[in-house]
């Protein structure tokens, strides 16, 4: 069983804004906009989280929230989402940043937080208790689980230890794309299921002939776009927390 981390095992929205805000301030500290970054997570940021694939995007969204003369709200977030990738690229050009620069910035913030006050950093994450409990019981069915995430491996490892979860394999964003990692895993393991909260990722899995036989589950409790639950392909199953206790074979 392969399981995504953010939005599936844990809700990290409070930490996402905290670390993105701090990384953004570090980058634009000489810019007057830095003072306008609110401590309370803006609606704009929360709404766009389901479109985020990599951590650097969250730093960019934090910057975008203070780029304009007035605070960005839900309508602006919806407009941004209609051409998300294009708008991210335009924002990168406006700020003069690279993806690597932003990824490094947010990871530096997290490294510092873990080094100086790890308990406080860990406390900004809210685990999904039904998921934690189910993962801990998988071994009673003779099933191992692996964590596959776009989060940095060192941060995921710290959180897994905090949650007392011990996956057989952990792959962070440093290991490559989720498709590449799944391709590699299938050469040595039988993957009984892949639980993910990003519909596009599951669609990309099914689009690969070598991966099309993997049972794919969309986590209903995760960071979903408004239309995700109503537009599922036949081979992607919506997984509800109430069904987690069922035997794995009954999830489909």
pLDDT band at 251 (very low <50, low <70, confident <90, very high): confident
Residue 121 confidence (pLDDT) above 70: yes
Tally of domains within the chain: 2
Least Cα distance to 181 among 189, 171, 191, 166 occurs for 171
Question: Quick one: pLDDT at residue 165?
Answer: 97
Spatial contact of 243 and 229, defined as CB atoms under 8 Å apart: no
Question: Quick one: pLDDT at residue 35?
Answer: 67
DSSP state of 33: G
Residue 7 is part of which domain span?
A: 2-11+126-250
pLDDT band at 69 (very low <50, low <70, confident <90, very high): low
Q: What is the CATH number of the domain that holds 237?
A: 3.40.50.1000
Check whether residue 210 and residue 174 sit in a common domain: yes
Question: Quick one: pLDDT at residue 32?
Answer: 58
Place of tokens 């830095």: 34
Question: Quick one: pLDDT at residue 72?
Answer: 76
The average confidence (pLDDT) of the chain is 93
Check whether residue 220 and residue 116 sit in a common domain: no
Question: Quick one: pLDDT at residue 70?
Answer: 59
Check whether residue 163 and residue 88 sit in a common domain: no
Check whether residue 21 and residue 86 sit in a common domain: yes
Residues in the chain, overall count: 252
Residue 15 confidence (pLDDT) above 60: yes
Q: In the predicted model, what is the mean pLDDT of residues 105-117?
A: 96
Question: Quick one: pLDDT at residue 33?
Answer: 61
- Quote the CA–CA distance of 102 and 122 in Å, as a whole number: 22
Residue 96 confidence (pLDDT) above 60: yes
Check whether residue 71 and residue 154 sit in a common domain: no
pLDDT band at 2 (very low <50, low <70, confident <90, very high): very high
- Where among 71, 96, 122 does a domain terminate? 122
Q: Please give the torsion angle defined by the CA atoms of residues 200, 206, 209 and 213, in that order, rounded to the nearest 10 degrees.
A: 150
Tokens of 18: 């905290």
The vertex-154 CA angle with 201 and 89, nearest 5°, equals 45
Pairing of strands 126-127, 10-11: antiparallel
Question: Quick one: pLDDT at residue 34?
Answer: 61
Residue 136 confidence (pLDDT) above 70: yes
The pLDDT > 90 percentage for the chain reads 83
Check whether residue 76 and residue 150 sit in a common domain: no
Spatial contact of 197 and 4, defined as CB atoms under 8 Å apart: yes
Check whether residue 186 and residue 61 sit in a common domain: no
Check whether residue 158 and residue 175 sit in a common domain: yes
Q: In the predicted model, what is the mean pLDDT of residues 29-41?
A: 73
pLDDT band at 74 (very low <50, low <70, confident <90, very high): confident
Spatial contact of 242 and 133, defined as CB atoms under 8 Å apart: no
Residue 175 confidence (pLDDT) above 70: yes
Question: Quick one: pLDDT at residue 31?
Answer: 58
- Where among 106, 122, 138 does a domain terminate? 122
Check whether residue 100 and residue 74 sit in a common domain: yes
Residue 67 confidence (pLDDT) above 90: no
- Quote the CA–CA distance of 106 and 236 in Å, as a whole number: 32
Residue 117 confidence (pLDDT) above 60: yes
Decide: residue 34, CB within 10 A, 0-12 exposed, 13-18 middle, 19+ buried.
middle
Residue 30 confidence (pLDDT) above 60: no
Check whether residue 163 and residue 238 sit in a common domain: yes
Check whether residue 135 and residue 198 sit in a common domain: yes
Check whether residue 54 and residue 89 sit in a common domain: yes
DSSP state of 146: E
- Where among 98, 122, 146 does a domain terminate? 122
- Quote the CA–CA distance of 76 and 73 in Å, as a whole number: 5
Residue 212 φ/ψ, nearest 5 degrees: -60, -20
The vertex-61 CA angle with 56 and 66, nearest 5°, equals 135
- Quote the CA–CA distance of 60 and 53 in Å, as a whole number: 12
* Cβ neighbours of 87 (radius 10 Å): 18
């Amino acid at each position: 069983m392969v399981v995504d981390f953010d939005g599936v095992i844990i809700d990290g929205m409070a930490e996402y804004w905290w670390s993105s805000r701090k990384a953004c301030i570090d980058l634009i500290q000489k810019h007057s906009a830095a003072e306008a970054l609110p401590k309370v997570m803006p609606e704009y940021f929360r709404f766009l989280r389901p479109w985020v694939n990599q951590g650097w995007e969250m730093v960019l969204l934090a910057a975008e929230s203070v780029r304009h003369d007035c605070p960005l709200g839900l309508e602006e977030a919806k407009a941004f989402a209609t051409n998300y990738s294009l708008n991210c690229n335009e924002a990168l050009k406006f700020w003069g940043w690279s993806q690597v620069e932003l990824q490094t910035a947010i990871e530096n913030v997290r490294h510092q937080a873990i080094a100086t006050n790890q308990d406080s950093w860990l406390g900004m994450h809210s685990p999904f208790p039904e998921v934690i409990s189910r993962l801990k019981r998988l071994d009673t069915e003779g099933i191992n689980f692996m964590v596959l995430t776009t989060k940095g491996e060192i941060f995921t490892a710290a959180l897994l230890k905090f949650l007392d979860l011990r996956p057989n394999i952990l792959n962070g964003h440093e290991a490559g794309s989720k498709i590449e990692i799944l391709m590699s895993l299938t050469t040595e393991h039988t993957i009984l299921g892949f639980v993910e909260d990003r519909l596009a990722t599951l669609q990309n899995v099914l689009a690969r002939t070598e991966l099309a036989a993997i049972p794919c589950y969309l986590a209903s409790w995760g960071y979903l776009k408004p239309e995700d639950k109503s537009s599922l392909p036949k081979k992607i199953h919506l997984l509800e927390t109430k069904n987690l206790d069922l035997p794995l074979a009954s999830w489909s």
